[in-house]
């Protein structure tokens, strides 16, 4: 039996899937006891994104409402922040590495399970759209650095200076006493990760970031790593991450959340378990933030983070709202 058919059949019947419940330490088939939410004209389409990116989420919602598919809507949404010069953690205007070079990371994943990614790209603003080009127009999943940049020009992307006067000034100030200490909830934003369900009920997502401010040259975070910064399985749901990418990568956080949902957890339970995996292994969690948002095939949404201050945007039934998220560190 083909993989997708097998998954569909087993999710419908509630039979345990590829992972045993005990192996994943989750509550077995808890959703079976709940009244499943039905996706109707009133609840579709949906867009959610990390942080309070009101305009980005509204853009995705508007695209979905006019019938754009989930992937293109997510890309159109995150582009709002890639082009926002005031956003110092995404796209043009993003903080540079410690050498003063702005390098961007992004990935996309669609409802067929196809994906594309670019890492450490300079001089290109719309890296989520570039990741889609990698997915569609190359035999590869990921392109890095100069190769990704050259590919971008071949596809008609324009060369832009991503270092704004303000980012340059902030970097020069940082260099006076350079410290490599992550700031929790930096200016209340970080990576933008977006998940959309379109009018057909299909799920896709995009994730884009300039990564940690003043990172080492060549450093790549979780945002372009399929399974870490973003993962989608159209039969189950999707998840995206924001925060300290190194910790997300060590636990393959977004893939973990989708697998936990496959095994019966709600999006909320799955996000909480993914955060617990990190804090239970890492005594230094007080020094960094990690946050996840997730959506399942029924349209239920979950979110959880380590520290107070993370919010997400939810577009549903023409309403675009900012939602405060529960957190682990209540000490």
**Cβ atoms of residues 325 and 305 within 8 Å:** yes
For the bound state, the minimum distance from the C-beta of residue 277 to ligand GLY, rounded and expressed in Å, comes to: 16
Q: Does 205 bind ligand GLY (CB under 6 A)?
A: no
Among the listed ranges 25-33, 221-229, 250-258, 306-314, the one in contact with ligand GLY (CB under 6 A) is 221-229
What DSSP character marks residue 122?
A: -
Smallest separation (angstroms) from ligand GLY to the CB of 193: 8
Q: Give the residue among 263, 188, 329 at the shortest CA–CA distance from 16.
A: 263
Number of neighbouring beta carbons within 10 Å of residue 281: 11
Shorter beta-carbon distance to ligand GLY: residue 93 or 245: 245
Q: What is the rounded distance in angstroms from the CA atom of residue 152 to the CA atom of residue 281?
A: 39
Q: Give me the least distance between CB of 117 and ligand GLY, in Å please.
A: 13
**83, 73 contact by CB (below 8 A):** no
As a whole number of angstroms, the distance between CA 38 and CA 28 comes to 21
Q: Which of 57, 125, 167, 191 binds ligand GLY (CB under 6 A)?
A: 191
**Given 68, 89, 103, 191, which residue is catalytic?**
191
191 is known as an active-site residue = yes
Residue nearer to ligand GLY on the CB measure, 191 or 263:
191
Which residue in 88, 223, 263, 289 binds ligand GLY (CB under 6 A)?
223
Helix (H, G, I), strand (E, B) or coil at 178: coil
Q: Restricting to residues 239-258, which ones interact with ligand GLY according to CB under 6 A?
A: 242-245
Task: Give phi and psi for 248, each to the nearest 5.
Answer: -65, -40
CB 297, min distance to ligand GLY, A: 26
Stretch that binds ligand GLY, among 40-48, 65-73, 138-146, 204-212 (CB under 6 A): 204-212
Our finding on whether 222 is near ligand GLY (CB under 6 A) is yes
Residue closest to ligand GLY when measured from CB atoms: 221
| Cβ–Cβ < 8 Å for 105, 211 | yes
What is the C-alpha to C-alpha distance for residues 116 and 122, in angstroms, rounded to an integer?
A: 17
Task: Report which of 294, 239, 319 is spatially closest to residue 58, judged by C-alpha positions.
Answer: 319
Cβ closer to ligand GLY: 114 or 246?
246
Instruction: Pick the binder of ligand GLY from 31, 209, 254, 298 (CB under 6 A).
Output: 209
The nearer residue to ligand GLY, 160 or 246, going by C-beta atoms, is 246
Q: How far apart are CA 123 and CA 142, in angstroms?
A: 18
Q: How far is the CB of 270 from ligand GLY (least distance, A)?
A: 19
| Site size with ligand GLY, rule: CB under 6 A | 12
54-65 vs 70-82: helix crossing angle, rounded to 10:
150
Binding mask 68-107 for ligand GLY (x = CB under 6 A): ----------------------------------------
**Tokens matching residue 37:** 């939410």
Residue 65 sits at φ, ψ, to 5 deg, of: -65, -35
CB of 94 to ligand GLY, least distance (A): 10
Token pair 């087993």: residue: 10
Q: How far apart are CA 196 and CA 202, in angstroms?
A: 8
- Asked if 221 is part of the footprint of ligand GLY (rule: CB under 6 A), the reply reads yes
Cβ neighbors of 150 (< 8 A, separation 6 or more) are none
Which positions are annotated as active-site residues? Answer: 191
Which residues of this protein are in contact with ligand GLY, per CB under 6 A?
Answer: 190-191, 209, 211-212, 221-223, 242-245
């Amino acid at each position: 039996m083909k993989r997708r058919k097998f998954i569909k059949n087993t999710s419908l019947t509630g039979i345990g899937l590829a992972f045993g419940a005990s192996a994943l330490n989750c509550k077995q088939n808890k959703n079976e006891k709940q009244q499943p939410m039905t996706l109707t004209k009133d609840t579709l389409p949906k867009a959610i994104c990390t942080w309070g990116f009101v305009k980005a989420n509204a853009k995705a919602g508007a695209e979905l409402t006019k019938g754009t598919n989930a992937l293109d809507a997510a890309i159109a949404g995150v582009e709002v922040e890639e082009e926002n010069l005031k956003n110092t953690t995404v796209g043009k205007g993003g903080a540079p590495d410690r050498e003063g070079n702005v390098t961007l990371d992004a990935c996309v994943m669609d409802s067929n399970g196809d994906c594309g990614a670019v890492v450490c790209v300079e001089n290109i603003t719309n890296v989520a759209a570039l990741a889609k080009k990698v997915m569609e127009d190359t035999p590869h999943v990921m392109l890095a650095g100069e190769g990704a940049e050259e590919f971008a020009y071949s596809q008609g992307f324009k060369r832009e200076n991503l270092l704004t006067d303000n980012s340059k000034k902030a970097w020069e100030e940082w260099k006076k006493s350079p410290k490599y200490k992550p700031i929790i909830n930096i200016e209340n934003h970080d990576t933008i990760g977006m998940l959309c369900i379109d009018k057909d009920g299909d799920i896709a997502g995009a994730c884009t970031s300039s990564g940690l401010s003043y990172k080492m040259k060549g450093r790549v975070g979780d945002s372009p790593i399929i399974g870490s910064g973003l993962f989608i399985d159209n039969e189950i749901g999707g998840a995206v991450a924001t925060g300290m990418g190194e910790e997300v990568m060590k636990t393959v956080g977004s893939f973990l959340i989708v697998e936990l949902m496959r095994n019966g957890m709600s999006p909320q339970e799955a996000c909480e378990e993914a955060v617990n995996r990190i804090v239970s292994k890492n005594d230094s969690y007080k020094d960094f933030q990690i946050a996840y948002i997730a959506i399942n095939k029924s349209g239920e949404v979950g979110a959880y983070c380590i520290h107070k201050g993370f919010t997400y945007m939810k577009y549903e039934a023409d309403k675009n709202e900012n939602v405060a998220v529960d957190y682990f560190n209540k000490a």
